[in-house]
Each structure stands twice: as structure tokens, then as C-alpha cells.
């Protein structure tokens, strides 16, 4: 069951903020083999590995248009409407992230500007299995489309009958994503990194996955292929004041704990009564929870922490840098101003994490494991690069040329200096 920690010494906070280390088998040798196999043998390697891992003897890796179209018949109307509503909200929020920047005249005759240009080819990885994460198709695909990526490749593992879950195909279908391939695991990452006969190589790879997928992304990153962000187990931290609803908090903690046995959930509060009530509600709700065996395991790695004040809770949270942060205090908006390290922040009694996971409009691909100290969650920014431009006129070069010559010379870069000198000389004759 979840631990209670009462008024820990501030000197212990850093230790408490360390994520519990999962005992992980070293996946590197296996993943390195898969990467080099796919690099050398292309589709042949993908077919062999797919048979090995999913048991299905696949011939055509690409999902056909018919498969995509027929997916719609396999979903309930309710689910399709829900997906379409979520899509609308996600689009609305992400479209606002497209910003056109002004031209800046840094000196007379020197114009500088930035322009966002879509990354041409992107790869989206969607895990399969029993819980098909079709919502992630929306979370990766929508910003890719808004950014204007020319080629969007999606890989997801087939089941033992050679099918990708229809909800995944439906989400891809409504977004117009047509390059969908039946391949999962490290081999899917390898295919998108290096390209095969069937699967085009891409410039950047996005999406969650198991530890083989994570290791493959880490390895291809060190070869210079971009990835969305480093991965780690999912987590939520709740900061709650005296008027917070303990049953709601318990439900939020359980929802996060359900993600996997290595998830971590934390409550920080200055109210001992609330802490105890939350503990009681957890026990009650756990008894009813369908995924309770997973939840129980992650609760073992989790904590209810009593601290001196809401401000202490905020300091602790900033040290922890949670992926998801729920603030249910008397003034969550003011308290949210003090948050410096978090992935996504949920304010008030009705902002449950599930809302952000599916339908509020924010992205659910977020930095875990303390990476929120230096990484952002996914956004349209993740699918573009920003080019800088400058136009220096003859007048402009007269204004900044001498400074450039002086600095280049001081760095002993004489040819840098000369590129200015040779131009200024022609101008002095004008």
C-alpha cells in the first residue's frame, strides 16, 4: 500500500524526489542487434522479427486503404464522436501555437527574422497490445499536420492476426495519415530511422513505447536522428489544500497508477486530515478498480507526503518536476504562477488528469522522470525547426562591418574579417 511520509526533513527531499529505479534487464545488446539487422536486411528483417514477436507471418507491411476505411465500422458511434470531439479541442489548442514572427531591424540596414518550417518527414510510433493507445495518434498526428509535415509515417505492431487495432486506424484515417505500417518495437524505430524497401526513413521519431522502443530511440538519437524526448515511467503529483475533495484526489492517483507498475503517484498536502482521508478513499476505490493489480504495484512506489504549507508543497514539486501536476488549493491560479518545473498542470477540482490525457486540448506527450526541468511537452514546436534569416544592405554592412572585422581578428579568424573588408572596400568607392 502507499506510504505516508510525515514532515520529512528538507534535507531528505532530494532523495524522496528520486524516481524508484526499476530493475531493468539491459536491453542494449538486443536492441543493437535489431537495429543492425533492420539496417542491413530491411523488410526481410522486419518480417522475421514480426513473426518472432507477434507470431504473425506478415507479407505486406503497409496497411491498405480498405483496412483504414473499414476501421470505422468496427467502432461504436459513441467512441467515434468522442474521438472527433477530442480532435477538435486538440486542434484548437495546437493551432494557436503557430506563430509568425516579425522582422527585427537590429541596426539600420540589418534585418533579421525567424521562420518556422515543418520537418519534412516524421515518424510516429503507436504501441499496440491490449490497450491500444489511439489517443496518442491524435496527440502526435494533429501537431504534425498543423506544422505541415509533408510525410507522416505511422508504425504500430500488428496483433497475432496481423491487424492493427481499428481505433488506431480510425484516428489515423480522420487525420488523413495514410502511410501506416504493421511493425512494432525496436524494429519499427529502426525502420523509420534507416528506411527499408517499404518504409521511408524520417527526420524525427515520436511516440511512447516499451523499454526496447525507448532504448532504440536513445541509440538512434546518438546517431544524430532527432527524437521527441527521453522517456521514463509516467507520474502525477497532486498538491492539495484543506478544501480539496479526497475522493477526487484518490481517483486521480489511481488513474495515474493504472498506467503501469512502474508509475509513481504523489500527494503533497499540509493537511493531515486530508492525507488520511485520501488514504481511505484509495483503499475504497482500489477494491473496485478493474486494473487493481497494476495499481497496487505502482502504489508501492508512491507517497502521500505531509509538508508544512502549500508553499512547501510547491517547492517540493518544483524539485520533483512532475510530468502531471494537479493543484487543488484555495487559489490554484496564484499557486500555479510559482510552478517552474512540470509537464502539464491541472488547476482546480474539476481539472482531472484524464481530461488532459484525452480531450481538453493539451498534449499528453510530456516529460517524465524529472526531465520537465529541461524539456517541454510535445507541441507544434516539436514538428518544426526555426530557420533564421538576415538581409544586410550596403548601409547595414557599413554599420556593423567594422565591429565584425575587429571581433573576427581578435578570434584570429582573418578570412572572416576579409569577407567584410572586401565588401566594405567596394562600398568606399561609391
Residues belonging to the chain = 430
Residues in 240-299 at the binding interface with a second copy, rule: CB under 8 A = 245, 247-248, 251-252, 254-255, 257-259, 285, 289-291, 295
Q: Identify the residue whose cell numbers are 536491453.
A: 27
Residues in 336-355 at the binding interface with a second copy, rule: CB under 8 A = 336, 339-355
Binding residues for a second copy, total number by CB under 8 A: 135
Q: Is 324 annotated as catalytic?
A: yes
Residue 145 near residue 116 (C-beta atoms within 8 A): no
Task: Return the number of other C-beta atoms located less than 10 Å from residue 327's C-beta.
Answer: 28
**Region of 58-66, 155-163, 185-193, 392-400 interacting with a second copy (CB under 8 A):** 392-400
17 binds a second copy (CB under 8 A): no
97 binds a second copy (CB under 8 A): yes
102 binds a second copy (CB under 8 A): yes
Q: Across the strands, what pairs with 305?
A: 5, 268
Of 60 and 419, nearer to a second copy (C-beta) is: 419
228 binds a second copy (CB under 8 A): no
Residue 230 near residue 147 (C-beta atoms within 8 A): no
Angle at 368 (CA atoms; ends 186, 288), nearest 5 degrees? 95
CB of 332 to a second copy, least distance (A): 8
Of 303 and 319, nearer to a second copy (C-beta) is: 319
User: How many angstroms separate the Cα of 425 from the Cα of each of 74, 398, 420, 422?
Assistant: 73, 10, 9, 5
Judged by CB under 8 A, the residue of 14, 52, 101, 330 near a second copy is 101
**Region of 10-18, 61-69, 139-147, 366-374 interacting with a second copy (CB under 8 A):** 366-374
Of 70 and 221, nearer to a second copy (C-beta) is: 221
416 binds a second copy (CB under 8 A): yes
Task: Return the number of other C-beta atoms located less than 10 Å from residue 52's C-beta.
Answer: 10
Q: Is 430 annotated as catalytic?
A: no
201 binds a second copy (CB under 8 A): no
- Over the window 157 to 196, marking each residue x when it contacts a second copy by CB under 8 A and - when it does not, the resulting string is ----------x-----------------------------
Of 41 and 369, nearer to a second copy (C-beta) is: 369
CB of 52 to a second copy, least distance (A): 25
CB of 51 to a second copy, least distance (A): 26
CA distance 285 to 273: 18
Report the chain's C-alpha Rg in angstroms: 26
209 binds a second copy (CB under 8 A): no
210 binds a second copy (CB under 8 A): no
Judged by CB under 8 A, the residue of 4, 89, 210, 315 near a second copy is 89
69 binds a second copy (CB under 8 A): no
C-alpha grid cell for residue 76? 461504436
Which of 271, 323, 353, 405 is catalytic? The answer is 323
Residues in 301-320 at the binding interface with a second copy, rule: CB under 8 A = none
CB of 88 to a second copy, least distance (A): 8
120 binds a second copy (CB under 8 A): yes
CB of 344 to a second copy, least distance (A): 4
- Cα maximum dimension of the chain: 88
Local structure of residue 305 (DSSP, 8 states): E
Q: Across the strands, what pairs with 121?
A: 151
202-229: string of b/e by CB count within 10 Å (b at 16+)? bbbbbbbbebbbbbbbbbbeeeebbbbb
In whole angstroms, what separates CA 255 from the centre of its chain? 19
Angle at 255 (CA atoms; ends 234, 299), nearest 5 degrees? 70
For 97-142, the DSSP string reads T--PPPPEEEETTEEEEEEEEE-SEEEEE---SSS--HHHHHHHHH
In whole angstroms, what separates CA 156 from the centre of its chain? 17
Q: Across the strands, what pairs with 324?
A: 236, 344
Residues 6+ apart with CB under 8 A from 53: 157, 184, 185
CB of 37 to a second copy, least distance (A): 21
Of 90 and 275, nearer to a second copy (C-beta) is: 90
Ramachandran bin of 61, using left for φ above 0, alpha for ψ from -120 to 50, beta for the remaining angles:
alpha
The continuous run of DSSP H or E covering 166 comes out as: helix 166-175
48 binds a second copy (CB under 8 A): no
Judged by CB under 8 A, the residue of 11, 26, 160, 224 near a second copy is 224
CB of 328 to a second copy, least distance (A): 11
Which of 94, 165, 259, 324 is catalytic? The answer is 324
CB of 161 to a second copy, least distance (A): 18
Judged by CB under 8 A, the residue of 131, 272, 311, 334 near a second copy is 131
Active site residues: 323-324
Amino acid at each position: 500500500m502507499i506510504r505516508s511520509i510525515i514532515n520529512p526533513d528538507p534535507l531528505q527531499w532530494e532523495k524522496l524526489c528520486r524516481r524508484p529505479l526499476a530493475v531493468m534487464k539491459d536491453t542494449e545488446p538486443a536492441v543493437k542487434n535489431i537495429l543492425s539487422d533492420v539496417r542491413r536486411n530491411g523488410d526481410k528483417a522486419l518480417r522475421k522479427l514480426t513473426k518472432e514477436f507477434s507470431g504473425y507471418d506478415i507479407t505486406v507491411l503497409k496497411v491498405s486503404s480498405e483496412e483504414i476505411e473499414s476501421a470505422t465500422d468496427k467502432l461504436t458511434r459513441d467512441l467515434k464522436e468522442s474521438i472527433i470531439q477530442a480532435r477538435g479541442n486538440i486542434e484548437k489548442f495546437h493551432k494557436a501555437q503557430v506563430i509568425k514572427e516579425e522582422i527585427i531591424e537590429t541596426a539600420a540596414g540589418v534585418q533579421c527574422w525567424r521562420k518556422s518550417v515543418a520537418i519534412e518527414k516524421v515518424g510516429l510510433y503507436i504501441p499496440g497490445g491490449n490497450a491500444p493507445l489511439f489517443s496518442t495518434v491524435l496527440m502526435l498526428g494533429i501537431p504534425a499536420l498543423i506544422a505541415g509535415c509533408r510525410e507522416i509515417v505511422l508504425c504500430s505492431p500488428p496483433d497475432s492476426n496481423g491487424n492493427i487495432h481499428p481505433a488506431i486506424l480510425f484516428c489515423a484515417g480522420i487525420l488523413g495519415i495514410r502511410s501506416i505500417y504493421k511493425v512494432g518495437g525496436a524494429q519499427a524505430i529502426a525502420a523509420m530511422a534507416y528506411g527499408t524497401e517499404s518504409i521511408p526513413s524520417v527526420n524525427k521519431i515520436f511516440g511512447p513505447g516499451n523499454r526496447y522502443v525507448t532504448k532504440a530511440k536513445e541509440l538512434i538519437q546518438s546517431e544524430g536522428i532527432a527524437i521527441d524526448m527521453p522517456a521514463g515511467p509516467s507520474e502525477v503529483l497532486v498538491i492539495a489544500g484543506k478544501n480539496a475533495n479526497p475522493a477526487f484526489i484518490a481517483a486521480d492517483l489511481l488513474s495515474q497508477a493504472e498506467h503501469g507498475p512502474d508509475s509513481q503517484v504523489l500527494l503533497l498536502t499540509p493537511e493531515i486530515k486530508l492525507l488520511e482521508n485520501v488514504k481511505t478513499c484509495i483503499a475504497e476505490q482500489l477494491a473496485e478498480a478493474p486494473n487493481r493489480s497494476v495499481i497496487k504495484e505502482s502504489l508501492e512506489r508512491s507517497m502521500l507526503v505531509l509538508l508544512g504549507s502549500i508553499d512547501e508543497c510547491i517547492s517540493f514539486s518544483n524539485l520533483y518536476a512532475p510530468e502531471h501536476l494537479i493543484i487543488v488549493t484555495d487559489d490554484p491560479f496564484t499557486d500555479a504562477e510559482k510552478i517552474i518545473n512540470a509537464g502539464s498542470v491541472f488547476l482546480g477540482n474539476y481539472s482531472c488528469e484524464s481530461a488532459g490525457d484525452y480531450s481538453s486540448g493539451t498534449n499528453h506527450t510530456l516529460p517524465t522522470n524529472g526531465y520537465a526541468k529541461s524539456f517541454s511537452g510535445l507541441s507544434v514546436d516539436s514538428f518544426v525547426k526555426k530557420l533564421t534569416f538576415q538581409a544586410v544592405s550596403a548601409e547595414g554592412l557599413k554599420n556593423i562591418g567594422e565591429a565584425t572585422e575587429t571581433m573576427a581578428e581578435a578570434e584570429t579568424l582573418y578570412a572572416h574579417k576579409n569577407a567584410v573588408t572586401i565588401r566594405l572596400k567596394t562600398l568606399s568607392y561609391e
